[in-house]
A and B are shown apart, each in its own frame.
Chain A
Amino acid sequence: MEPVFLTFVFVLAIFLGFELISKVPSTLHTPLMSGSNAISGITLIGSLASLRADNVKVAVILGTLAVTFATINVVGGYAVTNRMLEMFKKKDEGGA
């Protein structure tokens, strides 16, 4: 039953994603991409959970690399998106 349940979640999330993203204006498409990059670093959650103390050596190396790459995505993605969105200002907000 589990695969069916997971597929259910997957399909609903895809539809939700289409609804959400189609409302993002093209002005913000670059921050959207870098922000969704950060979200795709969610693999970090799995990589953290996979680094168990009783792992064999090869799995430790693979897991540590996975954590490193996913962290770059998460930290770098959110930071650069924040940096970009900071620049989007309206004149009456004292931006220019």
Chain B
Amino acid sequence: MNMMTLVINFAYVISAILFIFGLKMLSSPATARRGNLVSAQGMLLAIVVTLLYTGLDFKWIALGVVVGSVIGLVAAYKVKMTSMPEMVALFNGFGGIASLLLAWSEYHQNVDLTTFIALVTFLSAFIGGVTFSGSMVAFGKLSELISSKAVVFKGQHLVNGAILLTAVGGGVLFAADPAAGYTFFLVVVGVALIFGVTSVIPIGGADMPVVISLLNSYSGIAACAAGFVINNNILIVAGALVGASGIILTKIMCKAMNRSLGNVLFSGFGATTQAAGSGPQGEAKPASAEDVYYILEAADSVAFVPGYGLAVAQAQHVVRELGELLEANDTEVQYAIHPVAGRMPGHMNVLLAEANVSYDQLVEMDDINPKMDTIDVCVVIGANDVVNPAALDDESSPIYGMPIIETHRAKTVIVLKRSMNPGFAGIQNALFFYPNTRMYFGDAKASIQALVAEFKGAE
């Protein structure tokens, strides 16, 4: 190892430290932004010292870096916050394909690999390929370029099993004799791309938060495998951090939806919908804007429970305005957010932050539930299944066992809804028939605007 290589590798150690501190600072909203910049500095350092290697082809490097930077920056500044899940899905895919291309390029330069290097080359290409095509399908589903419904057909598991077997077989043959195995390598790449598609199409739109978390993890693991290929520690460390992060998020999402990972991956959502006509029945009590105004005006504490419907109606800003009017009226205002509210982990928090809601008002499900009895009014906006008490007590309900925000324990619950139609999962909500529930029908944004007008008119 010459002097320069030594310097470069020590600089990578510093990069790794910066990544770790960056992630550590993400543990609080107050330090998170600085943490991201610390992490970015780690990356910049790693890039700069890598360019110190002798014999690099700077012409092509410059082309790739310039094109990539322009696309990355434009995407980062153009994307709407409601479209973050699509953007993350797309970027997961790009991470995956980069690992595939790197492994391929290294193999193409030198086909004479040891068995270990051949094995990790196979893993890097395979995981990278699956991540890429799987992410493209997830992107298509989230942006509704393709049907977001689960695409299931008979014998799907057999087909996927056969594809996976082919990949493993191809990998073994390739690793056995990499010098003669170029064809096998190409087969593995092709099969990986097919497997990414066939493993994500059977997963329905509602399960996408789980899938993008999982693909996030894959993109890290693919980078890790690429690190083994080129014998580079920084790729292994950074890739492992991302891999771990994706796995944790996947676990949290599965728990919040009360489903096992196997259940998400292998059965299309919606297959468990109740037969029409069953489920809770009763009389829901409608309320007018004026009724709701009097309830809110008299309340000491109000918790908004937003769901993705809030973002669809673009009602974040009026909700924040209503929240501020309530605070001016000496009411304590909080926003109780279910882990699966929105379309990816933490999505609803970003949408509310964008509308200038102070982050110390954003409360997690596990923190608000114990205090629920002391809250005067819960306002449920565009959320349905995540507040359905059937998840707690009705064993026949398909969502039984799912953790919910227990709004029914508040003194009064106001549910904003277009009509009595059941929600996304097709399940009627028992909450609507509770004695302390009032239904406030209408478009979420118009309804909140009407309340804001009531408050302003009373001043």
Contacts and interface: CB of A to CB of B under 8 A. Distances in A.
Interface of A: 2-3, 6, 9-10, 13-18, 20-56, 58-60, 62-91, 95-96
B227 A34 contact: no
A88 B353 contact: yes
A70 B65 CA distance: 9
Contacts, number: 372
Given A43-B226, A79-B77, A66 B101 contact: yes
Nearest to B27: A23
B229 to A, nearest CB: 8
B364 A79 contact: no
Interface of B: 12, 19-20, 22-24, 26-30, 32-33, 36-37, 39-40, 43, 46-47, 50-51, 53, 55-57, 60-61, 63-65, 67-69, 71-73, 75-77, 79, 81, 84, 87-88, 91-92, 94-95, 97-99, 101-102, 104-106, 108-109, 116, 212-213, 216, 219-220, 222-224, 226-249, 252, 320, 324, 337, 339, 344-347, 349-350, 353-354, 356-360, 362, 364
B55 A68 contact: no
Majority secondary structure, B binding face: helix
A49 B64 CA distance: 13
Contact of B346 (A3, A31, A56, A69): A31
B41 to A, nearest CB: 10
Contacts of A13: 236-237, 240-241, 244
Contacts of A65: 64, 97, 101
Nearest to A70: B98
Contacts of A68: 63-65, 67-68, 71
B76 A75 contact: yes
Contacts of B224: 10
B153 to A, nearest CB: 31
A69 B68 contact: yes
Residue of A18, A24, A89 with most partner-chain B CB within 10 A: A24
A59 B109 contact: yes
Contacts of B345: 26, 29-30, 32-33
B101 A40 contact: no
A27 to B, nearest CB: 4
Given A17-B244, A50-B106, A76-B91, A88 B29 contact: yes
Given A67-B68, A83-B77, A74 B237 contact: no
Most buried by A among B57, B91, B104, B237: B91
A27 B91 CA distance: 21
Contact of B220 (A36, A44, A64): A36
A21 B23 CA distance: 7
Contacts of B22: 35
A85 B32 contact: yes
Given A36-B220, A66-B98, A87-B354, A31 B36 contact: yes
Contacts of A60: 57, 60
Contacts of B220: 36, 39-40
A38 B73 CA distance: 12
B349 A45 contact: no
Contact of B94 (A9, A14, A73, A82): A73
A39 B238 contact: yes
A40 B67 CA distance: 19
Given A21-B23, A79-B72, A52 B105 contact: no
Interface-centre pick from A2, A25, A29 (highest chain B CB count, 10 A):
A29
B19 to A, nearest CB: 6
Contacts of B249: 21, 29, 32-33
B92 to A, nearest CB: 6
A30 B346 CA distance: 5
A40 B26 contact: no
B364 A27 contact: yes
Contacts of B247: 18
Contacts of B346: 26-33
B57 A53 contact: yes
A73 to B, nearest CB: 5
B413 to A, nearest CB: 23
A80 B88 CA distance: 10
Given A9-B233, A45-B46, A48-B61, 14 more contacts: A14-B244, A26-B252, A30-B350, A33-B246, A39-B19, A43-B98, A46-B229, A47-B105, A59-B109, A67-B60, A71-B67, A72-B91, A75-B72, A76-B91
A33 B362 CA distance: 19
Residue of B36, B53, B109 most packed against chain A (CB within 10 A) = B36
Contacts of A63: 57, 60, 64, 101-102, 105
B178 to A, nearest CB: 15
Contacts of A34: 84, 87-88, 91
Contacts of A40: 92, 95, 216, 219-220, 222-223, 238-239, 242
9 contacts: A28-B29, A30-B344, A33-B245, A36-B242, A40-B239, A71-B68, A73-B72, A85-B36, A88-B32
